[in-house]
């Protein structure tokens, strides 16, 4: 039995601070402790100290210990085109994304990018990624293999497209079904891997392909299903042209069996009232991608409106449409989008979104996203004075929230003091 005792300030949650008073659901301990036993959190606080026995002790002082960040929507094949200039969604796909994704039939190239992506994520304190791959099974194998080497809990799937993409990136309804089914058999539930059935979005899947993937999800309801929804006005207009009989964008998924509790819908900015009601009724989750939504000019996500409607929400970088690998930068962008909507999100709400909220959206809240006994020891430690600019502001802080907020607004990978994945230290 291997035991490690982490000492420092700790932050965890007993509920959702978007729908409850944040002060009632936040659990903060300025003299906290986390006991890790064989990769699992077994005790917190005074009980952790009492049960530590001969555990190795690591004292982080005033650093903040919390659950590892959970990125609920990203595209690892876009890592090398992040921060490309000047395009909105459809042009972005045609100019940057599709030519790059065509390279991922080369397993060596896919492996290189997968390893780079996961190392960048860990360097930024992110311990779980939910990624779209490409149409190539090689890209899926590369991502899951790289994650398994690091023992990371990840979600991913083969992106399916049989129209409105370059020929090199088109599969068929049948091959999408067959290859996805084979990948589910190989990867879903293997170690810490979970599979997500992945139609890119309605414009790039024919009705026949959407129906095939809906049938596959019905056969494997324990899998997740990820796609995009209502990101930009031009996209929504295109969907209406392609599906003239659909009630709205969400109906293009709903009609083919692709709306359900384990559905994850990226962006979801410009939703109709019916769509919001159906998402809530299904228990589905949406994912807020604020750096992407501002970078490519998509719009302002209605976080609090969706929370009030009962729609579960995660937070994501959306690399590479998103302009940063950092969930700290993503929280800063979420705060800025909230301000433009007249809402000043509290630091506790931002941290919940980046950890427990995203884990809940992925139906993984029993294992990741929170410091709680029985959870996997996926942990990030934040230095709250990582740069001179942050340190001088934190020095004036009167409570933990004033100390934390400057790091959320100005922090980067220098703020990541340590990262643990399933009880293994990941940073040099």
How many Cβ atoms sit within 10 Å of the Cβ of residue 374?
A: 9
In contact, 287 and 321? CB cutoff 8 Å: no
Residue closest to 99 by CA, chosen among 158, 159, 168? 168
Report which secondary-structure segment, H or E, holds 124.
Answer: none
The tokens describing 131, both together, are 């990624």
Q: How do 126-132 and 69-75 pair as beta strands?
A: parallel
86: confidence class by pLDDT, cuts 50, 70, 90: confident
* Average pLDDT of the segment spanning 65-94: 90
pLDDT of residue 103: 96
Q: How do 154-157 and 40-44 pair as beta strands?
A: unpaired
DSSP state of 170: -
Residue closest to 153 by CA, chosen among 402, 368, 330? 368
pLDDT of residue 89: 73
User: Is residue 356 scored above 90 in pLDDT?
Assistant: yes
Cα separation of 110 and 101, whole Å? 9
- 69-361 belongs to which CATH class? alpha beta
User: Is residue 204 scored above 80 in pLDDT?
Assistant: yes
Cα separation of 287 and 345, whole Å? 16
12: confidence class by pLDDT, cuts 50, 70, 90: very high
pLDDT of residue 346: 98
pLDDT of residue 374: 98
* Average pLDDT of the segment spanning 358-364: 98
* Average pLDDT of the segment spanning 338-344: 97
Across the beta sheet with 26-37, the strand order is 40-44, 26-37, 3-13, 56-67, 379-382, 416-421, 424-425
Report pLDDT digits (tens) over 145-163.
Answer: 999 999 999 999 999 999 9
User: Is residue 37 scored above 80 in pLDDT?
Assistant: yes
User: Is residue 84 scored above 80 in pLDDT?
Assistant: yes
Report pLDDT digits (tens) over 257-294.
Answer: 999 999 999 999 999 999 999 999 999 999 999 999 99
User: Is residue 184 scored above 90 in pLDDT?
Assistant: yes
User: Is residue 61 scored above 90 in pLDDT?
Assistant: yes
pLDDT of residue 403: 98
Report pLDDT digits (tens) over 163-179.
Answer: 999 999 999 999 999 99
- CB < 8 Å & 24+ apart, contacts of 181-184: 181/216, 181/219, 181/220, 182/137, 183/137, 183/140, 183/157, 183/158, 184/216, 184/220, 184/223
pLDDT of residue 91: 82
Strand partners, 29: 10
Report pLDDT digits (tens) over 87-141.
Answer: 777 787 888 899 999 999 999 999 999 999 999 999 999 999 999 999 999 999 9
In contact, 354 and 66? CB cutoff 8 Å: no
Angle (CA) 188-249-137 rounded to 5° is 30
How many Cβ atoms sit within 10 Å of the Cβ of residue 284?
A: 25
pLDDT of residue 102: 95
428: confidence class by pLDDT, cuts 50, 70, 90: confident
DSSP state of 374: T
The tokens describing 401, both together, are 């929230």
> What are the b/e assignments for 153-178, b being 16+ CB within 10 Å?
bbbbbbbbbbebbeeebbbbbebbbe
How many alpha carbons fall within 13 Å on the CB side of residue 406? 20
24: confidence class by pLDDT, cuts 50, 70, 90: very high
Report pLDDT digits (tens) over 286-324.
Answer: 999 999 999 889 999 999 999 999 999 999 999 988 899
* Average pLDDT of the segment spanning 39-61: 96
pLDDT of residue 94: 83
Q: What is the CATH number of domain 3-67+370-425?
A: 2.30.40.10
For residue 39, with 0-12 CB atoms within 10 Å meaning exposed, 13-18 middle and 19 or more buried, which class applies?
A: middle
1: confidence class by pLDDT, cuts 50, 70, 90: confident
How is the chain split into domains, by residue range?
3-67+370-425, 69-361
In contact, 187 and 227? CB cutoff 8 Å: no
Cα separation of 255 and 368, whole Å? 32
Report which secondary-structure segment, H or E, holds 126.
Answer: strand 126-132
Cα separation of 379 and 412, whole Å? 17
Average pLDDT over all residues of the chain: 97
């Amino acid at each position: 039995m291997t035991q490690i005792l982490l000492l420092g300030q700790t932050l965890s949650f007993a509920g959702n601070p978007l729908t409850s008073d944040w002060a009632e659901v936040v659990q903060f301990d300025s003299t906290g402790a986390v006991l890790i036993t064989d990769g699992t959190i077994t005790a917190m606080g005074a009980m952790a100290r009492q049960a530590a026995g001969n555990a190795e002790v690591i004292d982080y002082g005033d650093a903040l210990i919390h659950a590892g960040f959970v990125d609920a929507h990203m595209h690892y094949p876009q890592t090398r085109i992040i921060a490309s200039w000047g395009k909105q969604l459809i042009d972005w796909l045609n100019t940057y994304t599709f030519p790059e994704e065509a390279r991922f039939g080369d397993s060596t190239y896919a492996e290189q990018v997968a390893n780079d992506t996961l190392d960048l994520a860990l360097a930024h304190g992110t311990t779980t990624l939910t990624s779209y791959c490409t149409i190539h099974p090689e890209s899926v194998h590369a991502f899951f293999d790289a994650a398994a080497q690091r023992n990371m809990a990840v979600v991913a799937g083969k992106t399916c497209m049989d129209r409105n993409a370059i020929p090199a990136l088109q599969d068929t309804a049948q091959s999408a079904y067959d290859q996805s089914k084979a990948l589910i058999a190989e990867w879903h539930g293997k170690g810490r891997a979970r599979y997500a059935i992945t139609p890119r979005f309605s414009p790039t899947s024919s009705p026949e392909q959407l129906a095939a993937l809906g049938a596959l999800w019905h056969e494997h309801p324990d899998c997740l299903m990820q796609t995009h929804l209502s990101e930009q006005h031009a996209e929504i207009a295109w969907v209406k042209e392609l599906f003239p009989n659909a009630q709205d964008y969400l109906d293009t998924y709903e009609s083919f069996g692709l709306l359900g509790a384990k559905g994850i819908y990226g962006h979801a900015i410009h939703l109709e009232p019916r769509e919001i009601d159906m998402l809530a009724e299904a228990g589905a989750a949406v994912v807020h991608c604020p750096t992407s939504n501002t970078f490519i000019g998509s719009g302002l996500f209605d976080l609090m409106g969706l929370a009030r409607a009962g729609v579960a929400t995660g937070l994501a970088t959306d690399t590479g449409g998103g302009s940063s690998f950092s969930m700290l930068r993503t929280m800063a962008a979420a705060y800025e989008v909230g301000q433009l909507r007249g809402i000043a999100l509290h630091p506790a709400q931002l941290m919940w979104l980046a950890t427990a909220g995203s884990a809940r959206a992925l139906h993984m809240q029993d294992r990741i996203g929170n410091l709680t006994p029985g959870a996997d020891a996926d942990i990030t430690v934040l230095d709250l004075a990582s740069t001179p600019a942050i340190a001088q502001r934190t020095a004036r802080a009167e409570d933990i929230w004033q100390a934390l907020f400057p790091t959320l607004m100005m922090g980067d990978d220098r703020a990541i003091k340590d990262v643990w994945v399933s009880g293994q230290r990941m940073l040099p």
